[in-house]
Every structure is written in C-alpha cells, then in structure tokens.
Chains A and B, each alone.
Chain A
Amino acid sequence: MKTRVDVVCVHFKDGHIKPLEIVWDDGRRFSIDQILNIMPAASMKSGGVGMRYTCIIHSHKRYLFLEENHRWFVE
C-alpha cells in the first residue's frame, strides 16, 4: 500500500529539501528525529520512484519518498 502523507518541510535557498514532520490522514503528527540518507531510489514495496529519505521517526527507521510529481509517500 502506498500511504500518501502531508509533510512539513524546509526548502533551503540552495534548493534542497528537509522534511521535518509527517502528518497522517487522521491528523496525527510524527516528527522526523533524524535523516540518515537521501538518495534516488525505487520503492519496491509500494511502487514508484523518487528521492528516498531514510528517516528515524520515534526510534523506527522509515522510508519517506518524494516523487517527481512533488507528492510524498511513506513505504
């Protein structure tokens, strides 16, 4: 399943993007504690490609993807 989410992020003046917080459909908010890695990647579980942010959220490692169409999803 592809879970699309709202993301609060900072767009830096050099062009790069840092996601800060994920907002779930039911309104729950999860802050991103750490970003371990950013790289282009395919999501083999959910389907699709984009820039993959490997994040630590509440001590769990999760992949957050930003697709070419500027939409975010969590794998």
Chain B
Amino acid sequence: MDRVILHCDLNSFYASVEELYHPEYKNVPLAVGGSEQARHGIILAKNQLAKKYKIQTAEPIWQAKQKCPNLVVVPPSFDKYVYFSNRVREIFQEYTDLIEPFGIDEAWLDVTGSQMLFGDGKCIADTLRMRIKEELGITASVGVSFNKIFAKLGSDYKKPDATTVITRENKHLIVDPLPVEDLLFVGKSATKALHACGIYTIGQLANTDCAYLEKVLGKMGKMLWCYANGLDTSEVKPWGYKEDAKSISHGMTTKRDIRNVMDAKMVLSLMAEEVTSDMRIQKVVCKKVCLFMRDVNLRVFQRQCVLPKKTQCASDILDAVMKLLSKHYDFEIPLRSIGIRVMDFESEESGRQLSLFEDAIHDEKGEQLEKTVDLIRKRYGFTSIKRGSMMEKTDLFD
C-alpha cells in the first residue's frame, strides 16, 4: 500500500502574520525586511500584492522599492512567527505523530495510519487548511502524495490556500511538465548542468538514463533521477526527532565593511568562540574547518582545510581560519560578511592523537579556560565576558 504524505507550506508566512496583526496592510504591497541600518536590509517575505511587482525574497530592500515605490516594509517579529509556527504544529499533532518540520513554515506529515480516523489524505489536507485559516487567520498550501518529494511539489503547485494531490496516475500530467529546477535539491549549479544536457523538465529528467546522470552529476544524479521517478523512500521523521549536526556555522554581517586582516581577526575570534561553544554543548570535536566570506559586491566564496588535530578549542580554529584568510584573500575588495563552519565531527570522548611537538598541558589549560567562559556566559549572558581586543573595534558590531 502506498504511503500518504502531506507537505504543508504556510503561504507568505511572515507577511501573513503581519497582515493579521495589522489589517490595514491587507490591501497594500507589504514586505517583511531586515534592518537597513544594521545592513541586514533584505526582503524576508512579501504578500500576494507585493509578488505582483516581482519582488523576490532575499533581494535588497532598496531594489524592491525601485520595483514598487509604495511598498510597505515592516521589521520582522520573530517571536510571533515562532508562536504561530508552534500553534500550527499543535494542530498537526492532532492528526499524526509523524511530523518533520522543514524550516519554520513547512512540514511533512505522514498520515498513512490516520486515514481510518480522519478520512483520506485530501480530506485531512483540506481539514488542516481550514483549521489553520480559521484558528490562526493565515493560509496554507498542502501537497498530498505517496512520497515526500512529490508532496513538496504539490504544495508548491497551487498557492495560496489550495490542496494538490499527486498520484501515480496523474503524475505525468502534474509533475512531468514542471521545470526541473522546481524539484527539491535542484539548485543553481545542478539546473545549469541539467540544462546543458538538454534536460528542462522533470519528465525529461525521469526519462534520462540514470547512469548518464550519475556521470554528469555524480551521486546527486542518481538521487535526482529517483526523485523525478517518484522513487523517494525517505521516511517522515517522528515529531521531536533530532539528527546529529553534520556541521556548525556562525557568520556575521558587520556594521561596516571588513577592510583588513585585523578587522577580520576581530570578527573571526568571536565566531570561533561561538562555534566552539556549540561544539562543547554537543560534546563533539571537529576535524575540518571552513571559512566563508561575502564581499561588498555580494560575491560569496569559501575555503576549507583539515585541522592538524581534532579540536573544540577556539584558538585552534582561529589559527586555521586566519591561515586560510591570509592565503586566499588580499582585501582588495572589502568584505561585508564573514563566518566559520566546522565539520567532520567525532565524539569528544573518542580520544585524541597527542602531538610530539606541541604542549598537551597547554592545550588542556586552554580548553579548561574556554569551558569556564562558557559557564560564565551561561549564567550571566553571552556578552558578560569578552576578549579585551573586542573592545577596540566596536564600530564593527551591533
């Protein structure tokens, strides 16, 4: 028997919540945007009227206002969004315990076992939409299908406030003509590679030889072929399920541009403290570190390296990223944001290779010091203790 998977997507989520609390914004083009003063001035969400002006999520506010001069931009109120997201999940929990969130405003639900109680997939989807609309005043699109990938395609197919059912029978009518970039996990570079092979629709992808796709896109090729053919068998995780983190990253868009190595070191030392603090909470050590940067022209790039030893110590991470920075960046173009990602984790209990040349006692002292800083921050807040050097360039931080 086929599974019945729902994918529920809250339409223009942030903007809908703002409209609900400010009914006067219902008939104007509205966007939720970050603070332009703090240089987070991008569009986070927009309502249906703003969509007509082709305003895109993540575009700068100034650009959006050029497209639509009377665009109303309101600051985000994340507390409210989290509240609404939790309320929606409470509604889901009345129908199934297999709920896998995908961001704050999307989730998959496996309702295969709930149909005897609440009706078939479409019936449950319609009930969910109706309840979300009536109880919370926002709308949702729901896709119903026999796997997670097609359910997600279904929720994107018709918006707002609609249910789309994709079955094995109507798959060729709904899914096959869709552009290949609509498929989950087909990003910019995969789209480019597929277009170069003459593959423009999901149907064409499904009918391409799997071995050929594997040759072009590697492992990803086989995965996408399976997705396009409705062969995704991944399960909807039970509510509360937590996967072990594969990487931890912290980045920051600074108040002014990062113009030289000293500026960068200041920000990176803070980021190193944050990632290592998270690693200690998760009781892991990392073997690889990645430095990611965005320059003032919004070009993004990253460089990574393997660490000489497994660590959860901020100074080791900082040393590694500073080496990467000086090797790969000359600051001809200032940076707008910078950050650190750590990955390739092992449990902190897994034992460490001692170095012949470095001082293990010194390392242990460093770690002990950082753990103590964690304790102080846990008790008195993150800003209660900071490096003396951080006091110098306060114009970089909020």
A residues sitting closer than 8 Å to B (CB atoms) are 39-49, 68
Asked whether any CB of chain A lies closer than 8 Å to the CB of B398, the reply is no
A49 touches B137 (CB 8 A): yes
Chain A residues near B138 (CB-CB < 8 A): 42
Chain A residues near B137 (CB-CB < 8 A): 41-44, 49
B136 touches A47 (CB 8 A): no
B residues sitting closer than 8 Å to A (CB atoms) are 20-23, 83-84, 87, 133-138
B134 touches A47 (CB 8 A): no
- Enumerate the 10 nearest inter-chain pairs by beta-carbon distance, A residue then B residue, closest first: A42-B137, A40-B135, A47-B21, A47-B23, A42-B136, A49-B136, A41-B135, A47-B20, A44-B137, A41-B134
A46 touches B23 (CB 8 A): yes
A42 touches B20 (CB 8 A): yes
21 contacts between A and B (CB under 8 A): A39-B135, A40-B135, A41-B134, A41-B137, A42-B20, A42-B133, A42-B134, A42-B136, A42-B138, A43-B137, A44-B20, A44-B23, A44-B137, A45-B23, A47-B20, A47-B23, A48-B20, A48-B21, A49-B84, A49-B135, A49-B136
CB of A17, distance to nearest CB on chain B (Å): 18
A44 to B139, CA, bound (A): 12
B83 touches A68 (CB 8 A): yes
A43 to B23, CA, bound (A): 10
Determine the residue in chain B with the shortest Cβ distance to A40. Answer: B135
Determine the residue in chain B with the shortest Cβ distance to A52. Answer: B135
A43 to B20, CA, bound (A): 8
A43 to B83, CA, bound (A): 16
CB of A37, distance to nearest CB on chain B (Å): 12
Chain A residues near B136 (CB-CB < 8 A): 40, 42, 49
Chain B residues near A41 (CB-CB < 8 A): 134-135, 137
Picked from A44, A45, A47, the residue with its CB within 8 Å of the CB of B22 is A47
- Extra contacts, 11 of them, besides A40-B136, A48-B20, A49-B87 (Cβ < 8 A), are A40-B135, A42-B133, A42-B136, A42-B137, A44-B20, A46-B23, A47-B22, A47-B23, A49-B84, A49-B135, A49-B136
